Structure 1
Amino acid sequence: MLGPKQFHFSFFLFFLALNLFSQDKGKAISLKNIIIDIEQQHEVNFNYTEDNVSGLQLIPPKKSLSLEQKLQYLTQKTKLSFENLGNKYINVYKNQNESEIICGYVFSNTDKKPVEDANIHCNNSETATDSNGYFEFKKGSKNTFSISHVGFITKKVSTNNQDSKNCLNITLESEVTELEEIKTNPILASGISKNSDGSFEIKPKKFGILPGLIEPDALQTMQQIPGVNSIDESVSSINVRGGTHDQNLFLWNGIRMYQTGHFFGLISVFNPNLAHTISIYKNGSSAFYGESVSSVVAISSTPEAFEKNSFSAGINMINADIYAKYNLSKKSYIEISGRKSITDYVETPTYKEYFNKVFQNTTITDFSKNQNIDYRSDRKFDFYDATFKYVQKIGLKDQLIVDLITIKDDLRVFQSAAVNNINKSENNILRQQNYGGNLSWKRNWNNFNTTKINVYNSSYELLANQKTTNDNQIVTQENTVANNGFNLENNHTINSKVIFNNGYQFNEVGITNLEQVDNPNFYRKIKDVLKTHALILEGKYNDTLSRIIVNTGIRLNYIEKFKKFIPEPRIQINYGFNKNLNLELLGELKSQNCQQIIDLQKDYFGIEKRRWIVSDNSSIPIQRSRQLSLNLFYKKNDWLLDIENFYKKVTGITTASQGFQNQLEFIRTTGDYEVLGTEFLIQKKMNHFLTWLSYTYNNNNYHFKNYDYPSFPNNFELTHTISWAAIYEKNNFKIALGTKWSSGRPTTAPDISQIDLSDPILVYKKPNSTNLQIFSQVNLSSTYKWETEKGIQYKLGVSIINILNRKNEISEYYRISSLSNSIEEVETFSLQRTPNVSFRISF
């Protein structure tokens, strides 16, 4: 049976083949279908009204004819006029109405692209431009009209003597402040910029290259931003300014994602060849973002304007993927993507390194430890993700979008061994998956008012099933999340300086945790549900002359179960001293009702140990954060300097959520963590060469007032982090070399002076009183792209992580060995030298 991605792709090929077959037979088909074929063959755009082409059928012109010959043929057969504008736009209208029509195209002065949905006011009537910037209206006694669009200066045009056979070409001047221009310069790599609200924006389709990356992976890329780290190289352990991974809000087209990593964290679940915009907020996020006390990562796969049909496919040493976009009409299109691991067919060197990294010191590898007699293992691991998008424009003002996403990781391991004539075997299954759907509607009431409504669902499941044959025991663990939501957002442009936004959000989350053992019998199932309402008010002020931007807002949360109101104010202030130097102040108060905890380190085979739970407002408090940062941004003569000082405090954390593997592993108490830090970035661009150096300082401490040691370093503290990269891009060749260095994470050593080694029981020193060795890694990546005469693009990429093959220790803990009854030190290491090769074809 065909899966979703195979079905949609087969449907696309069938439709195309059927269309071509019908033309080759020489039968009469509709003029509209002929126009679509000519658009695809010659890469042009026709502008017409449905009344002019409906009902017309004729034999299509031969494909071998030139564009002009085809237009002449259509003119003869239909008695319509086809006006060719630079072999790019073709205007279609009836001959008898030529003298009654004024037509034109509206373009932006900055990028020369068409301006869609620009409002045309003439003779007490109103129309709007289409996706090609085209408009038309009937002539009147006075043909002076105005053109307006948000972000552009309103323009008046007089056409009293305009010849209708020649459409106007009108250029609108952008209302862009100098402050915005400074903030949109590339940072770290092409395709990455910093906005005036303090957020980082990544455009994957314009992405250049970064060390160790050959694809614009969203979660790998964001780790290059100062203040963003992963203590174990996993995208499922990203911490921003000391926060745990679950304290970040990850949104894909408005859907909250509870699973972010494939291969249990080494690869992002978000297809890097799909997204159009990725926005990352470390602080000062919009009041429309809730349910997180750390950063926000918002991923959108919706383009700003309609694009032509496209198809691409690629493969690397971990997975293969496919992408297709097909325009159903000028106002609608579908988009599908799919990605699947290739581990079912081949175990590449990259896969082997990933597997060794993920499964070290888990129950999967512990099974065979010190057992070298008749040991057998049969393992199967694969993952996939798939997305579907449908976009429909309705009239001139409305747009409907449907987004679907499915993600799944599946691990099956059978192990057996014979020790002292005793057979032992285990059959382990671990499954992690996330489904999501979003229906959104947007309406532009006029130039100044817009409404957005979206309804979404996100479902997450983590399931582990272990069958042990020697004692005939079956252990099942399950963690599920069901999240439903409704969002309403209204945007009002008061004038050129002031924008006011307001909205309402409803969120319902239900989390279930199940544990079941059949020998001896044990069953526990806990389900909790929280419903939250939020009222949002937000104002934005942008004064170009005084170089001041102020964004301020408040989010008022109401939690039904606790009958509790939580206000969350946000503020962003940006002041430009001149065109080169800006000062930025960001602040926010936020809260979070769901978090991940670890009951036992061996849960879910020790691979994905974390499970989602809901706050009970007592032993599991609502997490709340406050953060303030001051940023200085300087840009001149291809030099860029960015310095940011910040303070952050998060209350309501539990010890179970922090992943302790020392004396606090089995202690349940609540507290907070407090971070004071500095982030520094300096960058220089010289022709095709770009180099940058970043440094981050963190002083991050826990506070547990009810514990013996009320204050000690945070598990996620990396006091010093330094990154450097050198990037060269010329034409279609790109290469990047970089290194990352950080001080070792905190760890806790046993107090040998207080341990009886003949019958040891672990006694620890003060928590996190020592540190691991320095982490150091050098990475390289390079890509080359070329294009054939037929417009087919090929891209080859090569990367090497940890070129020097340095053995970096990333975690350390202690346990009592059951075999030797002695203290055993357990170490976990980062990836060894890991190569990867990718190849991609696009057209």
Structure 2
Amino acid sequence: MRHFSILFVFFFGARSYGQIEQNSVELKVILQNLEKQHHVRFSYNEGEISAHHIFPPPENMPLSAKLVYIQNRTLLGFMRIKKYIVVYRPQKPVIAPLCGYVTDEMGMPINNAIVQYNGKKLATGADGYFELPPDNYKDIYVAHDGYIQTFVAAQNPDGDCQKITLVLEPVQMEELVTERFIATGISKKADGSYTIQPKKFGILPGLIEPDVLQAMQQLPGITSVDETVSNINVRGGTHDQNLFMWNGIRLFQTGHFFGLISALNPNLAHNIRIVKNGTPAFYGESVSSAIDISSRLNDIGENSGSVSSNMIGADAYAKFKINEKAGFEVTARRSFTDVLDFPTYTNYSKRIFQNTVVTALEGNGDVNYKSDKEFYFYDFTVGYHQKIGKRHDLYADVIGINNSLDFTQGTITSSNVVTQNSNLDQHTLGGSISWRTVWNDRHSSDVNVYGSYYKVDGRNASIEYEQVTEQENNILDAGVKLSHHYNFMPELTLHGGYQFNEIGIENTDRVNQPQYSREVKEVLRSHALIAEAEYKPENSLLYGRAGIRGNYIEQLGRLYAEPRFQVGYAFAPGWKLEVMGEQKSQSASQVVELQGDFLGIEKRRWILANDNDIPLQRSNQLSAGITFKQHGWLFTLDNFYKRVRGITTLGQAFQDQLEQVQATGNYTVIGSEFLVQKQFYGFNTWLSYTFTNNNYRFKGVEPKHFPSSFEISHLVKGAVSYEFNNLKLSLGGKWFTGRPYTPPLLSIPTTDNNGQPVIAYDYPNSENLGNFLEVDFSALYTLQLSEKAHMQVGLSLINVLDRRNIINRYYRINNTNGGIEMVNTYALQRTPNAMIKISF
């Protein structure tokens, strides 16, 4: 915890930032400091300034205002020629101009704010500074889009420039109610959901690109027990219990590098919506959270593009405006890890492939990366937007994602050299067509047709036993969504819709010695009717939404309803109370049949509920929270209860006595999420704490309840970020208590009924790993190349302290000595990354 002391220093140091020293300082020293801070040069006569000692001007003042400040206390004059400033003693007293500077609530200067005086107008400069010509004034009017306009007296206190602070304009409840939630570009909406806008993204520790699935893990209540984006846990749930959608297409694959990098190109996504509770009734097939990614804009927009590269791969983005009614976007990204081997790739490889077939499962030793393993990934998207008339919009989108691994194992026998090739491929291909119509001011409709195909294909060729195992997991998902929206009255909107979905999942296994083959195909067709009402009066004090989703699954003969609601009430200035609840379900989930499946890397496979050994999963969740936001401070507190029924032991990643046990049950989570944030003078500091108590209950399993494999009892995250002009810096980290694991009851193996050595385990998840601590850093700098082009360079460092964190532990029988062997999986070691991006 001592490593987080820096966060508290910045956080509670906000009030003292920028205070004037209590002792006067020699003017020469002050001018030297101004030269360093504002990149200017002063020219002066030593004799004219040596007698002056004054209190330094506040650091957050613009340079022009500081010169007025010094002028008023020394009666010296300043003549500025570009970056050179001449200091002189005027013959006549210099009258200080009527001047001021405009900032926001964080102390950041506001450029192009309108200053109106005596019927005339002028705009502030990039530093927020302005001067008024000599005249007789009364009040002056200051305004800027997005801020509350203000009138101030036309006079300077003590003859100095006046500081004018503009406050963000309150918005209606349907718009964003908490801007800059943790970072610029992350906001919390009136309905309790979170939005991430990559194009406006600020900076987070360890990230140099707006990786949405990494960024969402900074939110309270969201983490990953193994630091991957393919195992995101929201309020104690498993990754497959989250619904991931891209332009109406459900995604079954979310990561590259088998989870360390998001499979979604950061250049494309325009808006990401994350819902932890109170999910709108239009979202189905998840018992945890919903993540809806949209790259669709209402307008065609202008031509733009970018190219970038980091130490893993390169990508490109292009947006073309065909005409005023049509345009399309294209993105493409590919790793060069099969050609170049930077430290980033080396560390990622050690993290992902440890304790798998790729790193010699039996010996747990790394193979030669360059000669034995070849890995690469790519993704692409194509989007088309056509406006038809004034009321209709047509969208067509395609997405493709691929991970590919090939590695060769070889050995020398007495007679020859034996080699075997194994591989693992993971593919996603999806498409959707949508039609959106605004009939009039009160009616609008949407139609969406979508389909996606997912496949993971593994081939494991063993040298020792000349055994070849081939495995496949295929998914074909398609459907239609219809929705209509009716503004019944100004403050009440009614939503209705129908959804049809057909999903087919096929699992195939083939082994040559002994010869074995299995092929299982499952199909489910479901129908859903949605009705929802949304209440948002003009006074913005109250927001409410209530809806119900009626589901019918043909093959299971199941008909059931899922109510959802969300209420927000601003009961006092800056204070808001939120209450949410929902019931949800899902029919597709992931299980692990054997830890060595798919080379032990992507060992989870998707299956469908059958209402027998694989139940339909159902969830209930309630939460109540309070938010306070004022004067750059933000406090949020959420308490929640969540219960999920219909889970199986195969879906909970057990690597102990329950690994081969198939039982059904539930888990219950009770928790709290707390966030405190302060913004001041370009700094943004935040600290969050999440507490969860997460317990299983499985039929026929003792004890009756025990900790979840995904329980993180205490989780602390925080960061200090600084944004000034073109520079962004962020330092932060996370600390959490270790996840549960099951130790052996005895130090030596016992034998089963067949005389084979086995491990006698203690109660499931009865011990915890050591605490996890990681400190990350990132920096971004933007350089303007021309009016429309700029270059961005970035540097990040994950695990600055190079701490050896254990994120998983299990036990196995050592084939050499027959004893019990402890196997640890370690988090990323210190990993650098660098990025360069040119946008135009």
Same fold (TM over 0.5): yes
Deviation at 1:756, TM superposition (A): 5.0
1:127 counterpart residue number:
none
2:670 matches 1:673: no
Distance, in Å, in 2 between the alignment partners of 1:372 and 1:506 is: 48
User: Deviation per CA, 1:165-189, whole angstroms, max 9, x where unpaired?
Assistant: xxxxxxxxx9975545772321100
Contact persistence 2:174–2:191 (CA under 8 A): no
Contact persistence 1:376–1:415 (CA under 8 A): no
1:812 counterpart residue number:
809
Deviation at 1:563, TM superposition (A): 1.3
User: Deviation per CA, 1:138-181, whole angstroms, max 9, x where unpaired?
Assistant: xxxxxxxxxxxxxxxxxxxxxxxxxxxxxxxxxxxx99755457
2:821 matches 1:827: no
When residues 177 and 780 of structure 1 are mapped into structure 2, their CA distance, relative to the original with a 3 A threshold, is closer
1:79 counterpart residue number:
none
Instruction: Specify which of 543, 552, 556 is matched with residue 537 of structure 2.
Output: 543
2:220 counterpart residue number:
226
2:653 matches 1:659: yes
Deviation at 1:304, TM superposition (A): 3.7
Distance, in Å, in 1 between the alignment partners of 2:508 and 2:785 is: 56
2:286 matches 1:292: yes
Distance, in Å, in 1 between the alignment partners of 2:766 and 2:180 is: 40
Distance, in Å, in 2 between the alignment partners of 1:834 and 1:753 is: 36
Deviation at 1:226, TM superposition (A): 0.5
Instruction: Specify which of 366, 388, 391 is matched with residue 394 of structure 1.
Output: 388
Q: Which amino acid is the alignment partner of residue 767 of structure 2?
A: T
Contact persistence 2:795–2:833 (CA under 8 A): yes
1:47 counterpart residue number:
none
For 1:582-661, what aligned pairs fall within 5 Å after superposition?
Answer: 582-661=576-655
2:277 matches 1:283: yes
Q: Which amino acid is the alignment partner of residue 533 of structure 1?
A: H
2:763 counterpart residue number:
766
Deviation at 1:301, TM superposition (A): 0.6
2:759 matches 1:785: no
Contact persistence 1:650–1:673 (CA under 8 A): yes
Deviation at 1:378, TM superposition (A): 2.0
Q: Which moved more, 1:296-305 or 1:350-359?
A: 296-305
Tell me, what secondary structure is at the counterpart of 1:358? helix
Contact persistence 1:375–1:417 (CA under 8 A): no
Distance, in Å, in 2 between the alignment partners of 1:322 and 1:825 is: 44
Deviation at 1:371, TM superposition (A): 8.4
When residues 690 and 376 of structure 1 are mapped into structure 2, their CA distance, relative to the original with a 3 A threshold, is closer
1:531 counterpart residue number:
525
Q: Which amino acid is the alignment partner of residue 286 of structure 2?
A: S
Instruction: Specify which of 333, 348, 351 is matched with residue 345 of structure 2.
Output: 351
2:512 counterpart residue number:
518
1:731 counterpart residue number:
725
User: Deviation per CA, 1:424-462, whole angstroms, max 9, x where unpaired?
Assistant: 533111000111000000111101100100000010000
Distance, in Å, in 1 between the alignment partners of 2:229 and 2:836 is: 23
Contact persistence 1:219–1:235 (CA under 8 A): yes
1:719 counterpart residue number:
713
User: Deviation per CA, 1:529-558, whole angstroms, max 9, x where unpaired?
Assistant: 000000000000112337111100000000
Instruction: Specify which of 235, 242, 266 is matched with residue 248 of structure 1.
Output: 242
Tell me, what secondary structure is at the counterpart of 1:355? helix
Deviation at 1:302, TM superposition (A): 1.1
When residues 420 and 833 of structure 1 are mapped into structure 2, their CA distance, relative to the original with a 3 A threshold, is farther
Distance, in Å, in 2 between the alignment partners of 1:507 and 1:718 is: 35
When residues 178 and 481 of structure 1 are mapped into structure 2, their CA distance, relative to the original with a 3 A threshold, is closer
Contact persistence 2:255–2:263 (CA under 8 A): yes
Q: Which moved more, 1:517-526 or 1:357-366?
A: 517-526
Distance, in Å, in 2 between the alignment partners of 1:827 and 1:777 is: 18
Unaligned runs of 5+ in 2: 1-110, 113-167
Distance, in Å, in 2 between the alignment partners of 1:469 and 1:813 is: 25
Deviation at 1:475, TM superposition (A): 1.7
User: Deviation per CA, 1:340-367, whole angstroms, max 9, x where unpaired?
Assistant: 0011220100000000000000011125
Distance, in Å, in 2 between the alignment partners of 1:369 and 1:417 is: 14
Q: Which amino acid is the alignment partner of residue 239 of structure 1?
A: N
Q: Which amino acid is the alignment partner of residue 405 of structure 1?
A: I
Q: Which moved more, 1:666-675 or 1:410-419?
A: 410-419
For 1:417-496, what aligned pairs fall within 5 Å after superposition?
Answer: 417-418=411-412, 424-468=418-462, 472-496=466-490
Tell me, what secondary structure is at the counterpart of 1:183? strand
Distance, in Å, in 1 between the alignment partners of 2:170 and 2:498 is: 30
Q: Which amino acid is the alignment partner of residue 786 of structure 1?
A: L
Contact persistence 2:814–2:821 (CA under 8 A): yes
Kindly tell me the number of residue pairs found equivalent between the two proteins: 672
Deviation at 1:253, TM superposition (A): 0.6
Tell me, what secondary structure is at the counterpart of 1:577? strand
Deviation at 1:583, TM superposition (A): 0.2
When residues 370 and 208 of structure 1 are mapped into structure 2, their CA distance, relative to the original with a 3 A threshold, is closer
For 1:698-717, what aligned pairs fall within 5 Å after superposition?
Answer: 698-717=692-711
Tell me, what secondary structure is at the counterpart of 1:515? strand
Q: Which runs of 4+ in 1 moved over 6 A?
A: 370-376, 419-422
Deviation at 1:373, TM superposition (A): 12
Deviation at 1:227, TM superposition (A): 0.3
Q: Which amino acid is the alignment partner of residue 257 of structure 1?
A: L
Q: Which amino acid is the alignment partner of residue 205 of structure 2?
A: P
Distance, in Å, in 2 between the alignment partners of 1:404 and 1:739 is: 36
Tell me, what secondary structure is at the counterpart of 1:235? coil
Distance, in Å, in 2 between the alignment partners of 1:509 and 1:633 is: 40
User: Deviation per CA, 1:600-623, whole angstroms, max 9, x where unpaired?
Assistant: 000001000000000001110000
Distance, in Å, in 2 between the alignment partners of 1:337 and 1:372 is: 35
Contact persistence 2:176–2:187 (CA under 8 A): no
2:571 matches 1:574: no
Deviation at 1:759, TM superposition (A): 8.4
Deviation at 1:495, TM superposition (A): 1.6
2:325 counterpart residue number:
331
Deviation at 1:789, TM superposition (A): 3.1
Tell me, what secondary structure is at the counterpart of 2:636? strand
Deviation at 1:761, TM superposition (A): 2.6
Tell me, what secondary structure is at the counterpart of 1:494? strand
Instruction: Specify which of 181, 184, 191 is matched with residue 185 of structure 2.
Output: 191
Q: Which amino acid is the alignment partner of residue 381 of structure 2?
A: T
Distance, in Å, in 1 between the alignment partners of 2:535 and 2:595 is: 50
When residues 371 and 794 of structure 1 are mapped into structure 2, their CA distance, relative to the original with a 3 A threshold, is closer
Tell me, what secondary structure is at the counterpart of 1:463? strand
Q: Which amino acid is the alignment partner of residue 842 of structure 1?
A: S
2:260 matches 1:263: no
Tell me, what secondary structure is at the counterpart of 2:626? strand
Contact persistence 2:436–2:445 (CA under 8 A): yes
> What value does the CA root-mean-square deviation take over the aligned residues?
2.2
Distance, in Å, in 2 between the alignment partners of 1:459 and 1:546 is: 43
Identical columns (%): 47
For 1:113-152, what aligned pairs fall within 5 Å after superposition?
Answer: none
Tell me, what secondary structure is at the counterpart of 1:716? coil
Contact persistence 1:425–1:468 (CA under 8 A): no
Deviation at 1:469, TM superposition (A): 5.6
Contact persistence 1:374–1:417 (CA under 8 A): no
Distance, in Å, in 2 between the alignment partners of 1:386 and 1:461 is: 17
User: Deviation per CA, 1:190-213, whole angstroms, max 9, x where unpaired?
Assistant: 111000111010111000000000
Q: Which moved more, 1:373-382 or 1:790-799?
A: 373-382
2:27 counterpart residue number:
none
2:210 counterpart residue number:
216
Q: Which amino acid is the alignment partner of residue 456 of structure 1?
A: Y
Distance, in Å, in 2 between the alignment partners of 1:284 and 1:358 is: 35
When residues 753 and 432 of structure 1 are mapped into structure 2, their CA distance, relative to the original with a 3 A threshold, is closer
Deviation at 1:379, TM superposition (A): 1.4
Deviation at 1:473, TM superposition (A): 3.6
Contact persistence 1:371–1:419 (CA under 8 A): no
TM-score normalised by the chain length of structure 1 = 0.77
User: Deviation per CA, 1:661-693, whole angstroms, max 9, x where unpaired?
Assistant: 011001000000000000000000002011000
Q: Which amino acid is the alignment partner of residue 570 of structure 1?
A: R
Q: Which amino acid is the alignment partner of residue 430 of structure 1?
A: L
Instruction: Specify which of 340, 358, 361 is matched with residue 355 of structure 2.
Output: 361
Tell me, what secondary structure is at the counterpart of 1:271? coil
Contact persistence 1:720–1:743 (CA under 8 A): yes
Q: Which amino acid is the alignment partner of residue 192 of structure 1?
A: I
